[in-house]
Structure 1
C-alpha cells in the first residue's frame, strides 16, 4: 500500500513486521516530511480498514 501511495520501501523481519525506508543521507527536509506524511496517511488507511 505504501508503494501505491508513492513511497518506496522494503518489508523485512521474520514475520514481515518491519518497514524499512530507503533514503539518501543528504535528503532535503521537505522530501523527508512528505515521505513521513505518506507513511502516516497509509497507516491510517490500513488501520481503518481493519
Structure 2
C-alpha cells in the first residue's frame, strides 16, 4: 500500500491503513446501502460508560 501511494511508514502508519480499510470503508458502504448512512442500531446515550 505504501509503495503504491509513494508514502513512508512515518507518513502512512499501519493504524491509518487499518482505519481506512475498516471504519471508513464501513461508513462508505453504509451510506450507499442505507438512507443517510446511519448505523443499523441507534442508541440514545449520554456517553456514560459502566
Q: What range is the shorter-chain TM-score in?
A: 0.3 to 0.5
Compare the two structures and name the one with the higher helix fraction. 2
Larger Rg: 2
